[in-house]
Copies of this chain bind each other. A is one copy, B any other.
Amino acid sequence: MFKVPDNQVAGHQARDGKLGPLIDDSGRFYKPLQSDERGSNEVAFYTAFSSDARIPDHIRRFFPVFYGTQPLKASDGSGLHPHLILQDLTSNRLNPSLIDIKIGSRTWYPEASEDYIKKCLKKDGESTSVALGFRISGLQVYESKESGFWKPDKEQVKKFSAEDVRLVLRKFVSSNSIRDSDSDPNCSFASTVYGGSAGILAQLLELKAWFEDQTIFHFNSCSVFFMYEEESVLKGGSSGAQVKLIDFAHVVEGKGVIDHNFLGGLCSLIKFISEMLTDLDESTTEACLLDSEENHICSDN
């Protein structure tokens, strides 16, 4: 009944006898509670969030549905272990392209221990978090039936520089061979997946408007998660582009202050994506202009 999810791109994985999340056939995702306060904190967040009437419906849809907790046989064979029961975000999706982006230039929170803060500061500085206000935690991009997914391993992802991040956000929406580091990603799905009224950028802007106002929670070390289905785009259907928020083990109370750390990082990511769309627009326009100039010269002769 339970199996290891195919579509996990970051976090602990239930492989090789390790503790990790499981899924079932009914569209549920079982996440083992981390044994320290992170586990209980994530349960506390989902419980508080689920029943908080201040969260508008158009924001609630960015969060996985929460079905409670349940003791389950752990994937590491250690016996019963409490699990969060959540919506499986990628159930019913065919070969989804996915990216997990941890938001915030700071992943620690003021109340944490000195050791924890030190560890986070190091990770934030070595990754792109401090520089960009976010870092990529993992991804998979569907290429084709033949070549399957491009899924760089953890060590590769960890080393992403600011330029790598810019490139990966383009590769994420490209149809040409993205493993080949020489070829320029063609961004052929950018306008469908990132752009448009139902695209990822529009969804991020909706989230941004909420973060400018909400002072209920501070989402430390939380990720935005993008999904879409390439085959659906190629068939001319909806891309199924969706943004979700995940990983709430370090959420703390907002105490009447907005989450300026999350908001700043989110705005930086929004700028990366909107700039890409503008650049593509301009290069299309330029190509058209060049084209019409050439035609003009031709008709002159």
Contacts and interface: CB of A to CB of B under 8 A. Distances in A.
Contact of A263 (B106, B132, B162, B264): B264
Residues of A contacting B: mostly:
helix
A271 interface: yes
* Number of identical protomers: 2
A257 B132 contact: yes
Nearest to A166: B256
Contacts of A257: 131-133, 162, 268, 271
A265 B260 contact: yes
Interface in A96-115: 105-106, 110
Interface in A21-66: none
A164 B131 CA distance: 31
Interface in A252-289: 255, 257-258, 260-261, 263-265, 267-268, 270-271
Given A110-B131, A271-B215, A162 B261 contact: no
A266 to B, nearest CB: 8
A212 interface: yes
Nearest to A109: B130
A196 interface: no
Nearest to A163: B256
Interface in A59-110: 105-106, 110
B106 A267 contact: no
A261 B264 contact: yes
B105 A271 contact: no
A291 interface: no
B110 A255 contact: no
Contacts of A270: 212
A133 B258 CA distance: 9
A106 B117 CA distance: 14
18 contacts: A110-B130, A121-B121, A131-B255, A131-B257, A132-B257, A133-B257, A133-B260, A133-B261, A212-B270, A212-B271, A258-B268, A260-B264, A260-B265, A260-B267, A260-B268, A261-B264, A264-B264, A264-B265
- A-B CB proximity, top 10 nearest: A264-B264, A260-B264, A133-B260, A260-B268, A258-B271, A258-B268, A110-B130, A263-B264, A263-B267, A132-B257
Interface of A: 105-106, 110, 121, 125, 130-133, 162, 212-213, 215, 255, 257-258, 260-261, 263-265, 267-268, 270-271
